[in-house]
């Protein structure tokens, strides 16, 4: 049985999706959360000098958050049942990762005028366009199952939940704002009502990013 160590900072951001996949699969992993000083001490051990990094069996290393997420999801059967489903799941994950990029820009924008403009664009264009795409997509490929693709949980659902969580943390929107999108809201409800997630979501530390 493989041993997994996930290394990231003390926050959710680019590592939380990976954590959610591990919890969804019921697989154990070592969750190493570093402060900046600790990171500087081991920075040269990362192939790209960046985090997150997944260490497998104390030897193999994977970097880039979405590459790690896809690898772990496929290892644990959360990436779709066939190649076409896998492509559908990946398309949702990629769309949400693009949206997450917009959230990151808002979070780390220091100029107040530009920050307001980024938030306005997010509310007027980025989020409504992505949410409308997801509603149509889920209606076609998930139907009334409560999942984005097929009739069981995949990492597409976890990516949707995680991105919405990041939007809330950034202060760009609140959970109530997502209720106008019924397919998306149902995925959120399903995840939060699943015991293994509910326990983790309640116990995880409050995050600023």
Confidence at residue 114, expressed as pLDDT on a 0 to 100 scale: 93
Strands 30-34 and 4-9: parallel
Element holding 19 (H helix, E strand): helix 16-25
Which of 3.30.70.260, 3.30.1300.10, 2.160.10.10, 1.20.1050.10 would CATH assign to domain 83-203? 1.20.1050.10
Q: What is the mean pLDDT of each successive set of 10 residues along the chain, which is 209 residues long?
A: 93 93 95 91 89 96 96 98 97 94 86 92 94 97 96 97 94 93 96 89 82
pTM across the whole model? 0.93
Domain ranges within the chain, ordered by starting residue: 4-75, 83-203
Q: What is the CATH number of domain 4-75?
A: 3.40.30.10
- Say whether 63 sits in a helix, a strand or coil: strand
Whether the Cβ atoms of residue 24 and residue 47 lie closer than 8 Å to each other: no
Element holding 40 (H helix, E strand): helix 36-42
Question: If we measure between CA atoms, which residue out of 92, 127, 91, 90 comes closest to residue 106?
Answer: 127
Residues 6+ apart with CB under 8 A from 18: 6, 52, 54, 65, 68, 69, 72
Query: Measured between alpha carbons, how far is residue 124 from residues 27, 121, 130, 131, 176 in Å?
Result: 39, 5, 11, 12, 17
Residues 6+ apart with CB under 8 A from 1: none
d(Cα 174, Cα 3) in Å, to the nearest integer?
A: 37
Confidence at residue 209, expressed as pLDDT on a 0 to 100 scale: 77
Phi, psi of 190 (to 5 degrees): -60, -45
Question: Helix, strand, coil % (nearest 5) of the chain?
Answer: 60, 10, 30
């Amino acid at each position: 049985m493989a041993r997994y160590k996930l290394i990231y900072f003390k926050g959710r951001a680019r590592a939380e999706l990976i954590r959610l996949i591990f919890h969804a699969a019921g697989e154990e992993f070592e969750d190493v959360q570093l402060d900046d000083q600790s990171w500087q001490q081991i920075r040269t051990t990362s192939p790209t000098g960046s985090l997150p990094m997944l260490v497998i069996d104390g030897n193999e290393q994977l970097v880039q958050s979405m590459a790690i997420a896809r690898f772990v999801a496929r290892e644990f059967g959360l990436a779709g049942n066939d190649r076409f489903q896998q492509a559908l799941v990946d398309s949702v994950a990629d769309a949400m990762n693009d949206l997450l990029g917009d959230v990151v820009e808002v979070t780390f924008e220091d100029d107040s005028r530009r920050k307001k403009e980024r938030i306005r664009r997010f509310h007027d264009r980025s989020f409504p366009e992505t949410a409308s795409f997801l509603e149509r997509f889920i209606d076609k490929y998930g139907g009334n199952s409560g999942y984005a693709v097929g009739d069981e949980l995949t990492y597409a659902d976890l990516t949707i939940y995680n991105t919405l969580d990041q939007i809330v943390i950034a202060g760009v929107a609140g959970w109530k704002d997502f209720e106008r999108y019924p397919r998306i809201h149902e995925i959120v409800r399903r995840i939060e009502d699943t015991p293994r997630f509910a326990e983790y979501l309640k116990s995880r530390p409050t995050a600023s990013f």
